[in-house]
Amino acid sequence: MFPKVLVCVVGARPNFMKMAPIIRQLQAVRHLIIPYLVHTGQHYDQAMKDTFFQQLGIPEPDKDLGVGSGSHAVQTANVMLRFEPVLDEVKPFAVLVVGDVNSTIACGLVAVKKNIPLIHVEAGLRSYDRQMPEEINRILTDQLSDLLFTTERAAADNLTREGIAEQRICFTGNVMIDTLLANCQQASSLAETLQRYGSKQVVSEKAYALLTLHRPSNVDDPETLERLVRVVGDISEKLPVIFPVHPRTQQKIAEAGLLQLLPQQRVIMLPPVAYLEMLGLMQAAQLVLTDSGGLQEETTALGVPCVTLRENTERPITITEGTNTIVGTDPAKIMQCVDDILHTGGKSGRVPEYWDGKAADRIVDEILRRYELAR
């Protein structure tokens, strides 16, 4: 029997950490499955894409669709138009997508319309907030999928409520944590990272807050953004804040003229940092302030307190078992949570089931079994 081709799709920064261990496991069964990696080009800057591929050992994509940025409709449509000919050429037995970005739903929709089975890794997460573009992408991708791999047990309940048959759901754990555990030892130190970006400020390990912000609900509305920037300024009076700034956020802070609200000596703004730098910054932080889904999970795995600047989370296990606290964007609540962490050390938490570095092994085993591609 000849090996069969599995098209694997990545598009944006958080996809890269999820796909890296899957590609590695697939390469170990190349006699059965040939991974064909497509990068849609949703994220394209050196700092948003290339450094991640290099650090995570992801091979160069077999195809780069080069779609770039755009409105949701433009971006999604461009991915679809450019992805369809790839499937015609490669004729895979299935398409595998990860996460919840626009590239995930765009490629999923193209695949199923061509009767190619869709596999979704990180299925079943729900914020129940349809204002979030990712929530729409999650719901629709899960409805389209033939095989759904989940990161936490509650995800299966969400899926069965939406009418998805239990046999299509498989709890395999968290591939992003596979990547985290594989790279912990190689993480860049705080000093290395600050030096690399020419930062002159002196910051000590376990004595700073790490901040990331990029959700449209937080950064696209100037009023919300100003409220958050002001509270970051207040927090920085208590402890320094390291803030790697997403391109979307950089643009919005500049447009709204908010830069002067962040005292330069206390808020260290960096460009988007590479994976090993971010991992090091998380490990050495006293606490993390974020609206990212990925960081909520990574801080839980690392045991670092996380303050989530959103009204909800699609990753409830980070609250029930992990170190995460949801505070929203009310400055008083944010300050109270930060103070609490500074005084008590914050939630200690434990690492959730199957966040053990072996999720990708389980996923590849299950794909071999389901599609009868014996080892």
Catalytic residue list: 214
> Where in the chain does DSSP place strands (E)?
4-10, 33-39, 63-64, 94-98, 118-121, 147-150, 169-171, 209-212, 241-244, 267-270, 287-290, 306-308, 324-326
Please report where in the chains the tokens 């629709």 appear, as a residue: 140
Please identify, using beta-carbon distances, which residue of 248 and 333 lies nearer to ligand UD1. 248
Residue 315 CB, nearest approach to ligand UD1 (Å): 13
Residue 236 CB, nearest approach to ligand UD1 (Å): 24
Catalog residues that contact ligand UD1 under the rule CB under 6 A. 12-14, 42-45, 48, 69, 101-102, 133-134, 214, 246-248, 251
Task: Check if the beta carbon of residue 295 is closer than 8 Å to that of residue 324.
Answer: no
Return the H-helix or E-strand segment holding 204: none
- For residue 308, the SS3 value is strand
Number of residues in the chain: 375
Phi, psi for 269 (deg, rounded to 5): -90, 125
Tokens of 321: 């078992």
Residue 112 CA: distances (Å) to CA of 77, 193, 196: 16, 43, 45
Please identify, using beta-carbon distances, which residue of 221 and 340 lies nearer to ligand UD1. 221
Question: What residues have CB less than 8 Å from 141, skipping those under 6 apart?
Answer: 97, 100, 104, 105, 108, 118, 120, 123
Residue 214 CB, nearest approach to ligand UD1 (Å): 5
- For residue 328, the SS3 value is coil
Please identify, using beta-carbon distances, which residue of 41 and 173 lies nearer to ligand UD1. 41
Please identify, using beta-carbon distances, which residue of 160 and 251 lies nearer to ligand UD1. 251
Residue 356 CB, nearest approach to ligand UD1 (Å): 24
Tokens of 320: 């029930």
Please identify, using beta-carbon distances, which residue of 42 and 323 lies nearer to ligand UD1. 42
